Amino acid sequence: DCGLSGSGWKILLHKDQEVMRTVWPLLAAGLFSTLSQVALVRGCPDSCEECSGPQNDLCLVCQTGWTLHDNECVDIDECGTELGPCPPNMYCFNTEGNYQCRGCDKACVGCMGTGPARCRKCATGYRLTGAKCLDVDECSEHVLACPGLDKICTNVEGSFRCDCAEGFTLKDNICVPSSPYFKGLFEDIQDEEVEVLQQMFFGVLLCALATLAAKGDMVFTSIFMGGVAAMAGYWLSDRGNRALDSFLKGH
């Protein structure tokens, strides 16, 4: 749109490039007889949809997110109105011509801005200390946070964790001993050594039976003779030789 203003032309500027393409051919066609009649065609300010000049106070129609005030487009603060509501646990951050919804700090349940000092309410595991929602150390405050000698308490941000103590392993969500409390005398014994120890036990047993047999008890005499035969058969076998040899060598 063009309108005569004094001795020159006044061109209504528009953000739309189609309008600009319409104006330029008129200038090129020699519509104006003198250079002084040619107006400088430039884009409107970013806040303006239509304007009568490049200055901010020459706006005629504002862009979305802006409002006209004294011929100047000023930003609408959606965060201060009902135009920019944000979802729960997010806060409104105003930008030029628009707004953003940003997440609250993890210490907050609802907030008015960024950081733990802008919380509306502290989240579980946090406590208002001074002006901030800070982490609660459950391990130092709660004696029974992780009951039992098989667990230790580890504080984490906003909560705590129960880990298995040293010497325990987690199995089916239960801390079980990873090794016996007390090591037995024969814990590390080899299979061959077990066989030798068994034969030594039987040897002691046979000595006891021999003592009873010497007193003339026929029942114990029979048991003694059978045990001797069994022991002799074992030690004369290859397996007995291997077991004895392994034991004597300390393997």
Sign of the Cα pseudo-torsion (100, 106, 107, 108, in order): positive
Residue ranges for the chain with pLDDT beneath 70: 1-42, 82-84, 143, 179-251
- Is residue 42 in some structural domain? yes
Cβ(109)–Cβ(120) below 8 Å: yes
- Is residue 154 in some structural domain? yes
- CA dist., res. 145 & res. 136, Å (int): 12
Per-residue pLDDT reduced to its tens digit, 126-165: 999 989 999 999 998 876 788 888 899 999 999 999 999 9
- Is residue 85 in some structural domain? no
- Is residue 185 in some structural domain? no
- Is residue 81 in some structural domain? no
pLDDT at residue number 7: 37
User: How many structural domains are present in the chain?
Assistant: 4
DSSP 88-111: TTEEEEEETTEEEEEEPPTTBSSB
- CA dist., res. 226 & res. 154, Å (int): 64
- Is residue 182 in some structural domain? no
Last residue within a domain, chosen from 45, 75, 105: 75
Judgement on whether residues 131 and 144 belong to the same structural domain of the protein = no
Question: Could you tell me the two tokens for 226?
Answer: 């059978």
Judgement on whether residues 143 and 115 belong to the same structural domain of the protein = no
Q: Work out the number of other CB atoms within 10 angstroms of the CB of residue 168.
A: 19
Judgement on whether residues 7 and 66 belong to the same structural domain of the protein = yes
Judgement on whether residues 67 and 6 belong to the same structural domain of the protein = yes
Cβ(250)–Cβ(190) below 8 Å: no
- CA dist., res. 209 & res. 157, Å (int): 71
Judgement on whether residues 143 and 127 belong to the same structural domain of the protein = no
pLDDT at residue number 121: 93
Judgement on whether residues 202 and 224 belong to the same structural domain of the protein = yes
Domain that holds residue 11: 2-75
Cβ(117)–Cβ(126) below 8 Å: no
Judgement on whether residues 232 and 213 belong to the same structural domain of the protein = yes
- Is residue 207 in some structural domain? yes
189-194: long-range pairs with CB below 8 Å, 24+ = 190/246, 190/251, 192/242, 192/243, 192/246, 192/247, 192/251, 193/246, 193/247
- Is residue 82 in some structural domain? no
- pTM for this entry: 0.47
Judgement on whether residues 166 and 218 belong to the same structural domain of the protein = no
- CA dist., res. 108 & res. 126, Å (int): 8
pLDDT at residue number 57: 83
Cβ(111)–Cβ(121) below 8 Å: no
